[in-house]
């Protein structure tokens, strides 16, 4: 492995990678967001490592199992791979909002784990998320560029667009 530090795009899953229809755990319910393949391919071509960081409290709540989550994650990663997109890693927090863990966003545990594993240069990286908790986790991890994909403005975001299809207008 190279000792060179790299730049990354950190992506939330629900609402960014797939339509957020609430506790998605089955392949048949997983719908990729419009423009996500084109967007990630372009970002990958710009030299960014693609890393997904996702809260999955549905596991702690008993809505679905860790195995169901892993099966869906494998499907998602394979669909990207079929289109020439490499997801470097997927980090998830299986804990609920009342659990005192270090990984659940808005805490930065997942981002810091990825930073260490891949030698990510946080100041050259981006977080793309649809919730303020994504922006807060990124800010806490030292990510300077934080893109909120939402109809609402976020206090901790440095950039804002209303759809995944517009991400390249900002990062492009």
Report the residue count for the chain. Answer: 172
Cβ atoms of 129 and 142 closer than 8 Å: no
Tell how many helices (H) and how many strands (E) occur in the chain.
6, 6
Q: Which residues contact 150 (CB under 8 A, 6 or more apart)?
A: 130, 131, 160, 162
So which residues are the catalytic ones? 12, 14
Alpha-carbon distance of 163 to 122, in angstroms, equals: 24
Packing angle between helix 132-141 and helix 109-118, nearest 10 degrees? 50
């Amino acid at each position: 492995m190279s000792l060179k530090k790299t730049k990354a795009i950190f992506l939330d899953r629900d609402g960014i990678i797939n339509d957020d229809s609430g506790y998605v755990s089955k392949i048949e319910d997983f719908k990729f967001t419009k423009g996500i393949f084109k967007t990630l391919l372009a970002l990958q071509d710009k030299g960014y490592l693609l890393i997904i960081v996702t809260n999955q409290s549905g596991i702690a709540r008993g809505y679905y199992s860790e195995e169901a989550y892993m099966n869906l994650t494998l499907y998602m990663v394979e669909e990207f791979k079929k289109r020439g997109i490499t997801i470097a890693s997927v980090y998830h927090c299986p804990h609920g909002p009342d659990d005192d863990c270090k990984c659940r966003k808005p805490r930065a545990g997942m981002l810091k784990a990825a930073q260490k594993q891949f030698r990510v240069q946080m100041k050259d990286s981006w977080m793309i998320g649809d919730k303020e908790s994504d922006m807060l986790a990124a800010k806490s991890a030292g990510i300077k560029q934080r893109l909120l994909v939402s109809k609402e403005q976020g206090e901790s975001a440095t950039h804002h667009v209303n759809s995944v299809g517009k991400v390249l207008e900002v990062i492009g």
